[in-house]
Amino acid sequence: MQSPHLVYITRLADTALIHGQRLSEWCGHAPILEEDLSMANTALDHIGQARMLYTHLGQLDGSGHGEDHYAYWRDADQFRNLVLVELPNTPPAAATASQPRDFAVTMVRQWLMGSLMTLWWQALTQSSDATLAAIAAKSVKEARFHRQHARQWLVRLGDGTDVSHARAQAAVDALWPYTQEIFTTDAVERAVSDQGIGVAPSEFKQAWLDDVQNALAEATLQQPPEAALPCDGKNGRHSEHLSYLLTEMQSVARAHPEGVW
Amino acid sequence: MSQPPSATTDTWMLWEVFIRPGAGLEHKHCGSVHAADAEQALHLAREVYTRRQEGDSIWVVPSAAITASAPVAKGEMFEPAADKIYRHPTFYQLPDAVDHM
């Protein structure tokens, strides 16, 4: 049984890595060159955050593991990321992840996560874990830009053409239930919160809702009603999509263990 | 990229990007971006042109707002200055104290 401190860092790290990996699928496929660079930059910000957190984890848990160990040598049930970030970039009704990507799905997720991580990293700058506080201080600046950029797109798509509005609304409807997991406080979050190491997202749920609702209104999008969706990625229970993502991400490292280039 | 350029880039405005490398220096033209409005142009300029810490300030200007001299007018525009060397401040004796003028 790992300490709440380790589990909490693992959740943050895994969420950053899987989010970055999922977003990086757009590299070379974004609607225009400028946005292509932007999406790749953002994905690399997330992966950079994950690298710092994994390095910290390897020191904290006494294993001395490097970042690659956590990224490449664990299986899906050992990952503790939010399910929201592992969902594919395909349209909500897509039967398989091999269908074409939907820019609206990706940008709505970027918005929900951008708003969330801005608040989360901001809170973590006060962490009693000095390394985590330093990672948060760096990451919050990245998150503020991600949030701003995604917000622009949310409004542009929602308040755009009939087609872009319909696709953005479908994306909001599909992703909204997965935000529930974020604010379900468990023993790990209570413990790190009591110790001053971390913060439970439920502590800033209202601020997140205010931010998200404000943007949805400006984008002329409807906030879906609360719907119960039991999903629990932060305890290792994932959708079927994560293992496919990991298989691709880990394939080179596992085919060539200890490989360097 | 995945769509033909005519589907997107034709309908997005072109913006000229100017980056200032640091405080006290001037903004310099570094390229252009396509964007639907000024705010987006600023974001995309940041993503395209400041990824390697090229600067700390960005200006974006609609390309259409720039009035440029015509290449064919080079003769009358610029060549008359070629033999006016007296316009260069190089004929003055500077006091020794003024090292770098």
Q: What is the pTM of this model?
A: 0.90
In angstroms, what CA-CA distances link B47 with A2, A29, B23?
39, 16, 20
Spatial separation of the C-alpha atoms in residues A28 and A47, rounded to whole Å: 18
Smallest CA–CA distance, residue A244 to chain B, in Å, is 24
Instruction: For residue range B50-88, list pLDDT tens digits in order.
Output: 999 999 999 999 999 999 999 999 999 999 998 988 888
Domain A4-255 carries which CATH code? 1.20.1260.10
Q: Is the pLDDT of residue A99 over 60?
A: yes
CA distance A11 to A6: 9
This complex has an ipTM of 0.85
pLDDT of residue A258: 84
The per-residue pLDDT for A112 is: 98
Average pLDDT over residues A86-92: 91
Tell me the domain boundaries of chain B.
5-68
Average pLDDT of every residue of chain A: 95
Q: Tell me what pLDDT residue B88 has.
A: 83
Burial A129-145 (b: 16+ CB within 10 A, else e): beebeebbeebbebbeb
Q: What is the pLDDT of residue B7?
A: 42
Would you state the pLDDT for residue B5? Answer: 41
Q: How many CB atoms lie within 10 A of CB A27?
A: 13
Total residue count of chain A as it appears in this document: 261
Q: State the nearest Cα–Cα gap between B2 and chain A, in angstroms.
A: 6
The residue behind tokens 């664990």 is A74
Per-residue pLDDT for A29 more than 50? yes
Residue of B nearest to A39 (CA): B47
Q: Do B1 and A41 touch (CB under 8 A)?
A: no
How many whole angstroms separate alpha carbon A235 and alpha carbon B54?
Answer: 42
Q: Do the chains contact at B44 and A38, CB–CB below 8 Å?
A: yes
Res B4 pLDDT > 60: no
Q: In which band, very low, low, confident or very high, does the pLDDT at A96 lie, cut at 50, 70 and 90?
A: low
Percent of chain A's residues with pLDDT above 90: 90
Q: Does B8 touch chain A (CB under 8 A)?
A: yes
**pLDDT value for A91:** 85
pLDDT tier, B101 (very low <50, low <70, confident <90, very high otherwise): low
Rounded Cα–Cα distance for residues A86 and A237 (Å): 12
With a cut of 80, say whether residue B1 has pLDDT above it: no
Contact A30 B3 (CB under 8 A): no
The DSSP secondary-structure symbol of A123 reads H
Tell me how far apart the alpha carbons of residues A231 and B70 are, in angstroms, rounded to a whole number: 63
Residue B2 pLDDT class (50, 70, 90 cuts): very low
CB contact under 8 A, A28 and B46: no
Q: Taking residues A149-161, report their average pLDDT.
A: 97
Q: Which residues of B touch A28 (CB under 8 A)?
A: 1
What are the chain A neighbours of B34 within 8 Å (beta carbons)? 32-34
Lowest pLDDT segment from A65-79, A247-261, B1-15? B1-15
pLDDT at A100: 86
Q: Is the CB of A30 inside 8 Å of chain B's CB atoms?
A: yes
For residue B1, list chain A residues with Cβ-Cβ distance below 8 A. 28-33, 36
A133 has pLDDT over 60: yes
Which of A35, A36, A41 is closest, CB to CB, to B51? A41
Give which of A26, A34, A102 to mutate to test B binding, by max B Cβ within 10 Å.
Answer: A34
Q: Return the CATH fold of B5-68.
A: Ubiquitin-like (UB roll) (3.10.20)
Chain A residues touching B8 at Cβ < 8 A: 31-32
pLDDT score for A63 = 94
Rounded mean pLDDT of A100-118?
97
- Return d(Cα A244, Cα A169) in angstroms, integer: 27
Please say if the pLDDT value at position A209 is more than 50.
yes
Nearest to A31 among B8, B35, B47 (CB): B8
> Quick check: A37 and B47 CB within 8 A?
yes
